[in-house]
Amino acid sequence: MRFGRRLKRIIEILYFYRDITGIIIFLIIYLFSEISFNKIYLGLFLIFLGLLLRLLGYFYLGDRGYSLKFKNEYFVTNGIYHYFKHPIYLGNFFILIGFLWFLKLPLFLSLGVIIFFLIEYSLFIYYEEKIAFNKNQNFKIIKVKPSLRNCLKELKTLFLILLSLFLFFLKI
């Protein structure tokens, strides 16, 4: 049982600080990278595909997705969530792969970042599902009404990605 509590605490810390870990990883990538112009188009496509998935996810999820703590009280089943269980996480993955695609990085660094991302988000999914299937919790399967207003905070992600691209192009 102790391992379960420790793992839960590690996952909660990773989830709470997920934006900060993303910034730290970005800074590490920024310091050790160069742009590969022959791969930039596919990289940009993957980044904007990731943005689209995030936008569609927040179109249904709204502010619920910006919490710093796990609050799994429901399971959204309509819209993009009908096709993907975690479109925002998938979008994050495409954004990461898009950046890594057109940047020249040491192989160990690229693989390290990908492995960290996969472990971190796998732990998030594991914990969310553990909460969802806990018999002691009132968990609902719901259909959410989509709203463009739900997407407004997602402009922050668009701004951060554009800022990141600008910073990479400054290195040229």
What are the residue ranges spanned by the domains of the chain? Answer: 2-170
Q: Find the range with the poorest average confidence among 108-112, 138-142, 144-148.
A: 138-142
Q: For 85-124, what is each residue's pLDDT tens digit?
A: 899 999 999 999 999 999 989 999 999 999 999 999 999 9
Question: Percent of the chain scored above 90 by pLDDT?
Answer: 43
Question: For residue 130, what are the CA distances in angstroms to 1, 41, 63, 126?
Answer: 14, 39, 22, 6
pLDDT reported for residue 82: 87
60: nearest Cα among 35, 99, 91, 39: 91
pLDDT at 141 over 90: no
Residues with Cβ < 8 Å from 45, sequence gap 6 or more?
Answer: 98
Q: Is 149 exposed, middle or buried (0-12, 13-18, 19+ CB in 10 A)?
A: exposed
The Cα–Cα gap between 101 and 113 comes to 12
